């Protein structure tokens, strides 16, 4: 069976909910840390008691503005909040405070490798609580559900993209790029598995060449990059099969199931009027002055694409720069190294080579390793000065990652520094020549390649410590005698 890709094209737009890293909730004063004991972070505002009033957390606004600036959005000087009516057991108020027609960020774009993806808008809203579906037999049947309202009122920024993506790979790259930006500007920790970043995926298909979009399905419950790609590929085939059978795709919300690798219908898609949006009467429209925006702009940290450029200017290949930038902890570490004036290219070779391999194997981050910036810089300095060879530096870096021992002390203790005095190397050169008369004869007979053989023998004898330039010179002189 063909996979339909020569006949249909997919169209994808994403709605990403990013949980803002504030200390307190968006309209209430209690904390919103993950993993607290159920219903301990619940004020009267969160519980939706009658007569209580929401108070907007300014830090949420600061973070939304910072995000908007990073996503090339316009921050209008006025936005407002609206009520979106739902009935959910984990939403005691019976409505969610969100932003409807006047969001805090309008328009924008982010760059992925082959194109720009448009951002439609980004708006602030509150999260709902959590239902815990208990397995044990309950009063009314085989199971029951419990409500935990700790998460209710957690600040979210919903970032809506234009339907600009045409493949699961583009969708993946978009979410990765967005996640990186949010992490670098410090507004969201981007943890898909823990749900601090959630992507709802809208996908439709159309015959190749057709201009109009097809009817979309919205897929929820996608909580890893792998499942995002799988869900899109599954949904593409499901929709293509419907069209091939002469059917029509219906607009609905579908749930991704990671175990079976399929999506299933959850509910028909509501239209905006089903929510009965109206302006939130308990909150004033929000006025954002140019000065406020300028103040936030002045605090904008370096963005991932700017870091990429700077690293490439410092001598890294595009690939190496991206490996470092895509792991924020590594990049922040690398920046501290660069402040110590190490050679960027050499440092990155170690970081993306031996160090990355070690961290991956131990499943730890660079900060959890014992390799401090100062110690690593010292090691690189010993290498730069020619005190130790490249191979020795490589084995030492792994040792230091484990033990945290001081580079210089280790080199002295183990006697690993390069041997650069003639009186130590010459006798070894002479010994190797004496021990290998056949090879010497062959070399003199024109087999130049054997030079490498002698170098290898001498290096073996000195445990890789002979200064290569000096060794080459002495060996040549002796062989030419
Ligand atoms: P809603 O709020 O009802 O989910 P929106 O207009 O906000 O609807 O759109 C939600 C997302 O769906 C956006 O990311 C948008 O790009 C995407 N989208 C809209 N139409 C289509 C379509 N035909 N195919 C794929 N994605 C679409
Ligand atoms: Mg939406």
- Give the position of tokens 């007569």: 51
The Cα–Cα gap between 287 and 292 comes to 10
Distance CA 65, CA 155 (A): 14
Do residues 329 and 464 both lie within one domain? no
Rounded CA-CA distance 206/165 in Å is: 13
Question: What pLDDT was estimated at residue 68?
Answer: 98
Q: Which atom of ligand 1 is nearest to the CA of 160?
A: 14
Structure tokens at 230: 């799988």
Beta bridge partners of residue 207, listed in sequence order: 8
Segment 63-82, tens digit of pLDDT = 999 999 999 999 999 999 99
Whether 284 and 316 map to the same domain: the answer is: no
Protein residue with its CA nearest to atom 14 in ligand 1: 13
- The CATH number of whichever domain residue 474 belongs to comes to 1.10.10.410
Q: Same domain for 77 and 108?
A: yes
Residue 429 makes CB contacts below 8 A (sequence gap 6+) with 454, 458, 471, 474, 475, 478
Strand order across the beta sheet in which 82-85 lies: 95-98, 82-85, 278-279
Single out the residue in 414, 440, 464 at which a domain terminates: 414
Ligand 1 centroid to residue 161 C-alpha, Å: 8
Determine the distance from the C-alpha atom of residue 397 to the mean position of all C-alpha atoms in its chain, rounded to a whole number.
26
Last residue of a domain, one of 241, 266, 294: 294
Nearest residue (by CA) to ligand 1, atom 7, is 160
Query: 440 and 358 in one domain?
Result: no
| Domain boundaries, position 210 | 2-294
Cα 442 to averaged position of ligand 2 atoms, centre (Å) = 78
Same domain, 287 and 398: no
pLDDT score recorded for residue 139: 61
pLDDT at 137: 60
pLDDT of residue 71: 98
* Closest approach atom of ligand 1 to CA 202: 26
pLDDT of residue 335: 97
* Substitution site in 12, 13, 210 for ligand 1 pocket (most atoms within 8 Å of beta carbon): 13
- Mean pLDDT of residues grouped by 10 in the chain (481 residues)? 85 98 97 91 94 97 98 98 92 95 98 96 96 70 83 97 98 97 97 92 97 96 95 97 95 94 82 86 97 98 96 95 93 96 95 93 92 96 89 91 92 82 89 92 90 91 85 90 80
Pair 408, 430 in one domain = no
For the CA of 214, the nearest atom of ligand 1: 23
Query: What is the token pair recorded at 130?
Result: 């959590």
Same domain, 248 and 332: no
Tell me: do 92 and 214 sit in the same domain.
yes
Same domain, 323 and 175: no
Q: Are residues 90 and 206 in the same domain?
A: yes
For the chain, the domain total comes to 3
Q: Which ligand is nearest to the CA of 249?
A: 1
Atom index in ligand 1 nearest the CA of residue 163 equals 16
Domain limit, last residue, from 390, 414, 438: 414
Q: Return the SS3 of 448.
A: coil
Do 383 and 311 have their domain in common? yes
51 and 127, same domain (yes or no): yes
Residue ranges lining ligand 1, Cβ < 6 Å: 11-15, 160-163, 202-204, 213, 216
Pocket perturbation via mutation, ligand 1, pick of 178, 216, 228 by most ligand atoms within 8 A of CB? 216
Say how far apart CA 92 and CA 414 lie, in whole Å.
68
């Amino acid at each position: 069976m063909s996979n339909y890709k020569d006949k249909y094209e997919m169209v994808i737009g994403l709605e990403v909910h990013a949980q803002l890293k504030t200390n307190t909730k968006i309209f209430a004063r209690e904390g919103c840390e993950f993993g607290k004991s159920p219903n301990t972070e619940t004020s009267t505002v969160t519980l939706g008691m009658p007569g209580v009033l929401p108070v907007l957390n300014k830090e949420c606004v600061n973070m939304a503005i910072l995000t908007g600036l990073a996503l090339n959005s316009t921050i209008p000087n006025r936005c407002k909040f609206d009520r979106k009516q739902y009935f959910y057991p984990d939403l005691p108020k019976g409505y969610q405070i969100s932003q409807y027609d006047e969001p805090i960020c309008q328009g924008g774009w982010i760059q992925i490798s082959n194109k720009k993806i448009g951002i439609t808008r980004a708006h602030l809203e509150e999260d709902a609580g959590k239902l815990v579906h208990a397995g044990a037999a309950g009063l009314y049947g085989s199971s029951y559900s419990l409500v935990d309202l700790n998460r209710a009122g957690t600040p979210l920024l919903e970032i809506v993209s234009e339907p600009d993506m045409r493949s699961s790979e583009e969708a993946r790259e978009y979410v990765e790029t967005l996640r990186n930006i949010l992490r670098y500007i410090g507004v969201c920790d981007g943890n898909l598995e823990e749900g601090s970043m959630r992507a709802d995926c809208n996908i439709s298909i159309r015959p190749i060449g057709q201009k109009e979009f097809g009817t979309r399905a919205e897929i929820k419950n996608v909580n890893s990059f792998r499942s995002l790609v799988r869900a899109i590929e599954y949904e593409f085939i499901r929709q293509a099969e419907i069209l091939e059978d002469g059917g029509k795709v219906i607009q609905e919300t579908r749930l991704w199931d990671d175990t079976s690798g399929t999506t299933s219908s959850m509910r028909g898609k509501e239209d905006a009027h089903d929510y009965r949006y109206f302006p939130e009467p308990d909150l004033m429209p929000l006025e954002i002055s140019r000065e406020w925006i300028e103040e936030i702009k002045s605090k904008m940290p370096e963005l991932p694409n700017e870091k990429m450029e700077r690293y490439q200017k410092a001598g890294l290949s595009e690939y190496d720069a991206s490996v470092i930038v895509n792991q924020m902890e590594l990049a922040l570490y690398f920046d501290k190294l660069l402040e110590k004036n190490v050679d960027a290219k050499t440092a990155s070779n170690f970081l993306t080579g031996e160090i990355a391999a070690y961290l991956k194997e131990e499943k730890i981050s660079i900060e959890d390793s014992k390799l401090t910036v100062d110690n690593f810089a010292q090691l690189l300095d010993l290498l730069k000065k020619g005190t130790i060879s490249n191979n020795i530096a490589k084995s030492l870096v792994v040792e230091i990652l484990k033990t945290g021992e001081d580079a210089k002390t280790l080199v002295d203790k183990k006697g690993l520094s390069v041997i650069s005095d003639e009186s130590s190397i010459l006798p070894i050169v002479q010994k190797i020549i004496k021990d290998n008369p056949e090879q010497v004869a062959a070399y003199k007979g024109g087999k130049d390649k054997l030079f490498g053989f002698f170098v290898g023998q001498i290096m073996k004898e000195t445990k890789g410590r002979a200064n290569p330039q000096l060794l080459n010179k002495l060996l040549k002189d002796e062989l030419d005698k």
